[in-house]
Structure 1
Amino acid sequence: MNLKLTYLFILIGCLAFAQDDEKAKQKALVQSKDLTWEGNKQLSEDKFVDAEMDYRRAIAKSSENAAAPYNLGNAYYNNKTYSEAFGRFKEAGELATDKEEKHDAYHNMGNVFMKRKEYQKAVEAYKEALRNDPTDEETRYNLALAKEMLEKDQQKNDQNQDKKDDQDKKDKNEDKKEGDNKDENKEQDKKDEGDKGDKGDENEEKKDENKEGEGDEKKEQEKKPEQGDQQEQDQPQQRRPDQLSKQQVQNLLDAMQNEEKKVQEKIDAQKVKGAKVKNEKDW
């Protein structure tokens, strides 16, 4: 009996705690909505900073108030802070408990993607919005526009890819042409080197021929003196104009001897004449 009473008291306590917790949540939700209303008022008066603070306080008060992040997202979107806006719209879509709130959150996420020119993501966001409210014509129109922009973007990308492929082909052909020219230049250089080598061989051959010719000429010249000597021996010796005959030479020698004799006689005569006479004393 006592055990049953204990369980009963525990159950009553849990129910009371749950009721208190629910009351606290409801109270926090009311306060969050009040702060959201204040934020809307500040935003209507172009007080963006004050409105942002009220929305943030509202979000912190209750996680069940999807209106606070959604309205803060709209404030960021109108202020062209699209990254912050997307984060708040996503948060609102996760907190939303009914389809209408989810529809609005995904519709606005699609608008952010359109601003970023992320058309594929915009298409997916608008489709999710239509799943929650298929009757919204504005969402349907935005979806059609997103598909059209996506198709144009893909065509543009395809054209750019084709241009890139054409340019790559052109560059490849130019590289190939340049490579062919280099190969031709190399072949020409090899040919020039070969011609130069052939000319060098021809020059060497000419040099060898010249050397052989010079050697032959030298041999001929060496032979010629011998032939000349032989010719001089074979031919009678010719007397040169200034050369004396043997008789003339003999006559000259005789004349020279006579002259020397005469000179010697004169010398001898002078010696005799010049000699001292010895006087003998006559005692």
Structure 2
Amino acid sequence: MKKYLILFMSMICLLSMEANAQKERKFIRAGNDLFEGDKFENSEVEYRKALDKKINSYEAGFNLGDALYKQKKYDEALKQFQTLAVSEKDPKKLGELYHNMGNTLLANKKIDESIEAYKQSLRNFPNSKETKYNLEYARQMKKKQEEEQKKQDQQNKDNKDQKDQNKDQNKKDQDKKDQDKKDQDKKDQQNKDKQKQDQKDKQGDQDKKKQDQQQQKNKISKQDAQRLLEALENDEKKVQEKVQKAKAKAQKAKKTKIKKDW
């Protein structure tokens, strides 16, 4: 009895698995039809339904990664492919998974990582011409990127050199401008000093001229001096004569007085 019960339960499980497998295939087919019609968001829904029925379905998981990739959900797509690769043992399937990882990484501008993914794909499935082509394409992109970066670096260096040259030239121009201003200020000051000195010399000349005129005015000729001297001598002589007359008169008066007393 127990043996028949176990057999019965096994049959039920098989029937249930078969039913789920049929539903899984149904959702996968529906997803594929939608994918072919470029309805990638709807196809994603169908593939997820298939995985609900069979969680380890390689086809549903792989196709889900493709649907995510087509929607440009690159991070989700990459994670989906990586999850499948962890437990996958079949070299051909691993080659497909790493190939799609390479495509996803390349689309996400991660060129170095995409090259490594393509290499890993070829290690598992060396005969894939498509992977070889994509690997070479990624290498050319990397080379172009390096050349552009090198060109950009050179351009930045040239711009910096030009900027430094302009800065040096501006400094020289400013220094020359400052020096010219100093020279002009010095020249202006010299002109001011010269004007002051000229004014001072002019004033000195005028003062000397006035002094000379005054001296000339005060100066008497030799003849005038002689006449003046003679006049002074005559005046002195007259004074002396008056003094002598006064003395004589006084003497005479004294004598007369003495005679009277006698």
TM-score of the alignment, normalized to the shorter chain, above 0.5: yes
Alignment partner, residue 145 of structure 1: 137
Alignment-derived partner of residue 166 in structure 1: 158
Per-residue CA deviations over 1:63-85 (Å, capped at 9, x if unaligned) read 42343232122224345554554
Contact 2:40 2:70 in 1 (8 A): no
Moved more, 173-182 or 70-79: 70-79
Q: 1:9: which partner in 2?
A: none
- Find out whether 1:219 has 2:211 as its counterpart: yes
In the alignment, which residue of structure 1 is the partner of 2:237?
A: none
- Return the letter of the residue paired with 2:32: N
**Which residue identity lines up with residue 173 of structure 1 in the other structure?**
Q
Change (3 A) 1:60 1:165: farther
In the alignment, structure 1 residue 110 sits paired with structure 2 residue 102: yes
Query: 1:46 Cα shift?
Result: 5.0
Identify the match of residue 44 of structure 2 among 48, 52, 71.
52
Q: Find the partner of 1:71 among 45, 60, 63.
A: 63
Shift of the 34–203 alpha-carbon distance from structure 1 to 2, 3 Å rule, reads same
| Structure 2: stretches of 5+ with no match in the other structure | 1-5, 228-262
Sort the Cα spacing of 1:225 and 1:136 in 2 relative to 1 into closer, same or farther, 3 A. Answer: same
Q: Report the TM-score when normalising by structure 2.
A: 0.66
Which of 150, 158, 177 is matched with 2:169 structurally? 177
Equivalent in the alignment of 2:28: 36
Residue pair 2:41, 2:67 contacting (<8 A) in 1 also: no
Quote the residue 2:113 is aligned against.
121
Aligned to 2:80, the other structure's residue is in SS state helix
- The alpha-carbon deviation at position 131 of structure 1 amounts to 2.3
Is it true that 1:197 corresponds to 2:170 in the alignment? no
Tell me which residue corresponds to 2:199: 207
Deviation at 1:35, TM superposition (A): 3.4
CA contact (8 A) 2:24 2:51 kept: yes
TM norm structure 1: 0.62
Contact 1:109 1:125 in 2 (8 A): yes
The unaligned stretches of length 5 or more in structure 1 are 1-15, 237-283
CA contact (8 A) 1:63 1:95 kept: no
In percent, how many aligned pairs have the same letter? Answer: 25
Partner residue in 2 for 1:254: none
Q: Tell which structure's C-alpha radius of gyration is larger.
A: 1
The one-letter code of the counterpart of 1:153 is: Q
Which residue of 1 is the match for residue 127 of structure 2?
A: 135
Q: 1:100 Cα deviation (Å)? A: 2.7
- Mean Cα displacement is larger for which, 184-193 or 129-138? 129-138
1:47 to partner: Cα distance: 4.5
Distance 1:219 1:60, change over 3 A: farther
